[in-house]
Amino acid sequence: MKTLTKYSPLLAAPLLLASQASLAAPPSDSAYSTDRQNSHVEDATSEGIGQVNMIVCIMSALRSDAFVNKGDYNALVEESRCQPNGSSGGASSAASGDAAQAATYMTAVVNATRQSNSTPMISKIWLSQEEEGHRTDIDVHLSATAAPTANNPYGVFTLYYCGHEVGDPNCRMNGVLEGSTDGVRYFHTETRDDGQGIYTQNVALKLNASGTATGSGRMLMQGDQGSNAFDFAYDPNLYLRSDGSAEQCFARDANDPETGMSVWRYGLYDETTGARITRNSGFPIDYVHGGETYHGYLGYYGLSLPAAAMTALQNGDTVQKVDYSGGQSAVKTDYTVLKSGGRLMKFTRQTRTLQQIDRVRFNAFFGPEGAGLFSGAQPNTQYEMYWDETAGNFKVTGGMNCSNNGCQLQPLSQEQTVSVSFWQTRPGVQGWSQSLGGEIFIALQGATGSVNSSSIQVVYRTQDLVYPSQFGAIPTLYCVRECPTPASMTAYFANGASLPSPFVAGTFNNWNPTAPSGVVTYQTDAATALLRIGGQAVTFTDADALHQHSQYQYGIRSGRLVANLAAAECSPGSGTYCDMKINDADVYYQWETGAESHNQFAAVKDSSGQFVAFDAPLQVNFQVPNGVAYGDYAGQSMVLQYGGFGDLWGLPGVCVSRDTNAVVSCDTQNSRYVPAFVIPNDLSNGRVSSGGHSYLVKWLDREIRFAKKSLGTCSAAQLHAPVGVVLPTSALLKNPASPNSDVYVGVKPIVTSAVRVIHGEIKY
């Protein structure tokens, strides 16, 4: 029986651009040549249409077309890959920097049927979504009548969905999406609690188009917090958007030099064979508790399971690794779980020269001495800087402004110059650089107004997760700056407390020499994978309390810890200890704790008691090509991190306007952060290297931001905003979670077999 293939992703106005042509070398049948590349348009209307894109991405990732009339099956969808621009902060975001963490999966049960070639394919889908420990069930009914074609790129289908509380068929989120021969209709209504109150928002879209070359439509976002409406029209060359008071014209040309582009997923490939470069980054698991089977993933960044399973899972429990290597079925192997409320990271010293980081931007915090950095500088402020090799000094480009809503970089009205002599009596620059993989230290003590930049050392670090089997080599760890204890964390997060930090008094921002009595000493506990002090675990996992303090909502991280206290001695025989001295250590450690999986340790042991270890992200060097497309970063050498196929991050970023697509200051209203440039698909320039190996890079998911043109350009082309577009209303809605609805999907089936599809990849 013929099945209907999955339908094409949708976007507002110009919609999905065609996939790029495959490259010719390496071999034409290699993954480098054949892996699909997708581009999508990012526009002011994308905020409203983002839910459509997410819906279609999820439906595609479930692959119901491959299991028609084959019964119920389990599937997983990697949520961050379906959210706009990798917005969850996962490792797939190219500009996420230190935000990499365990992948988050939505679980689903799917049933697809078709009675004959002349009847629709019906998919019944039961999804579960976790947000901050809260579960929402989403019931979906999809009826697909015709697959996409060249003349009808959307296919013919109707999709209804209802997001509701567990066991309650009343929709908190309700929507309908229709594709037809003359375009797309969409209506969505949702009630949410943003922490300040409950509000409702509706989104309505009508796209009139029989293809992707020309079309027009209207979108309305309306709710308790205000409304926005856009009318739009497009032809093969131009795109016009009106918000009711003003019109804007854009070019639909990806080759226009003013067109902006950002990539959210990259793949790495063998330079000779073109094969994908994979990492041993994790594997799917099943966990059975209370008669229910939970599906998840265990990897380098921790354990991902539904919230109910994470609460139930205890040390010593059994989980099953799901192995699909046979291709025809899934084989399950028992492993024993060890998890703790924190994790220990190891940082190993790497070096390059000041000359080699020419124009590489970094952030550095300055205490009281910051007032002398330049005229008008403020003490106790974090500044963005870079080394200017041509000028032979440092340049300051902006300062960090922090509030309860987070921190934003505010550019200075003009760059300020700082001579290296500023650090003549200071150890050097302690900072953080996304382009160098994290923390850096530039040794400048004793420097005068002129230095040989090729001899000035810049220290940066590679990082690795420390497993309990390695704790024996580091039974004791010492801390002099930002040292948490159970008591200090409990006191800081207590209701009504007004302490400056969750660290021991005197250690917060402590850059001063510290007497032995001020050093905090921890013990490692291999049996429980914990750091302890006085026998107590150094953990804090209260999510609600952490979220009350924005700077710690993603966890608490200690200062740098050393296994040999002498490594922190300010000077030989001084008897005092300085955090800055740890920059000279070959290795240091940091402990972190929090409510999220990436703040905690989770691992499994096999039947012989050996831990299964996963690969840390691979640090790779990227030589940025020369050219205007790369701006100030042209010619620089950067350190990026590769966590596995699709997950390459560490590129610097910029902010762009959602309205005009232009690069703007990050403190501009309605701006968003994107990677600053794209690594090209080029056999010469599209490469990274690590450990003497060179790898090819290929972008996989790219956004395009159209170049703004004069309004007269659209007028001359007779492109005008439509009038009288009739939007869909709530009258179209149906509830697939209700037994009284004709699209009722029924009670969620219980399927105990292994997951068959993981984000579009059929496992067996």
Q: How confident is the model at residue 89 (pLDDT cuts 50, 70, 90)?
A: very low
Answer whether residue 88 shows pLDDT above 50. no
| pLDDT of the residue at 202 | 93
| pLDDT of the residue at 643 | 87
User: How many of the other CB atoms lie within 10 Å of CB of 734?
Assistant: 18
| pLDDT of the residue at 81 | 80
CA distance linking residue 352 with residue 356, whole number of Å: 6
Q: Mind listing the pLDDT tens digit for each residue in 598-611?
A: 899 989 999 998 98
Q: Where are the alpha helices (DSSP H) in 406-549?
A: 486-493, 543-547
Q: Are 85 and 602 in contact (CB under 8 A)?
A: no
Q: Are 319 and 411 in contact (CB under 8 A)?
A: no
Q: Which of 12-16, 83-87, 339-343, 713-717 has the lowest mean pLDDT?
A: 12-16
Give 7 or 429, the one with higher predicted confidence.
429
Answer whether residue 15 shows pLDDT above 50. no
Answer whether residue 462 shows pLDDT above 80. yes
Tell me what the pLDDT averaged over the chain comes to: 88
| Diameter of the chain measured on Cα atoms | 88
CA-closest candidate to residue 76, choices 55, 65, 59, 62 = 62
Answer whether residue 150 shows pLDDT above 80. no
The DSSP output letter for 251 is E
Strands 476-479 and 561-562: antiparallel
Give 501 or 40, the one with higher predicted confidence.
501
Q: Are 129 and 135 in contact (CB under 8 A)?
A: yes
The values of phi and psi at residue 567, to 5°, are: -65, -15
User: How many of the other CB atoms lie within 10 Å of CB of 472?
Assistant: 9
The values of phi and psi at residue 635, to 5°, are: 85, -5
Q: How confident is the model at residue 741 (pLDDT cuts 50, 70, 90)?
A: very high
Answer whether residue 488 shows pLDDT above 60. yes
Domain ranges of the chain: 172-259+709-726, 282-341, 345-463, 466-599, 618-705
Stated as kind and residue range, the H or E segment containing 309 is helix 307-312
Q: How confident is the model at residue 329 (pLDDT cuts 50, 70, 90)?
A: confident
| pLDDT of the residue at 260 | 92
Show the CA angle centred on residue 708, arms to residues 706 and 709, nearest 5°: 130
CA distance linking residue 241 with residue 250, whole number of Å: 8
61: helix, strand or coil: helix
Q: What is the arithmetic mean of pLDDT over 161-167?
A: 92
Q: Mind listing the pLDDT tens digit for each residue in 43-52?
A: 887 776 777 8
Q: Mind listing the pLDDT tens digit for each residue in 91-140?
A: 333 333 344 456 678 899 999 999 998 999 999 999 998 876 678 999 99
Give 568 or 692, the one with higher predicted confidence.
568
Strand-pair partners of 464: 346
Omega before 306 within 30 of 0, i.e. cis? no
Answer whether residue 456 shows pLDDT above 80. yes
Taking the alpha carbons at both ends of the chain, their separation in whole angstroms is: 20
CA dihedral of 206, 211, 215, 220, whole degrees rounded to 10: 20
CA distance linking residue 101 with residue 104, whole number of Å: 9
Q: Mind listing the pLDDT tens digit for each residue in 556-595?
A: 999 999 999 999 999 999 999 999 999 999 999 999 999 9
Answer whether residue 747 shows pLDDT above 60. yes
Answer whether residue 293 shows pLDDT above 70. yes
CA-closest candidate to residue 125, choices 764, 761, 751, 752 = 751
Answer whether residue 9 shows pLDDT above 80. no
| pLDDT of the residue at 707 | 93
Q: Mind listing the pLDDT tens digit for each residue in 206-243?
A: 999 877 789 999 999 988 777 889 999 999 999 999 99
Mark 262-279 as b/e (b = at least 16 C-beta within 10 Å): bbbbbbbbbbeebebbeb
Answer whether residue 438 shows pLDDT above 70. yes
Q: What is the arithmetic mean of pLDDT over 315-339?
A: 89
CA distance linking residue 368 with residue 748, whole number of Å: 61
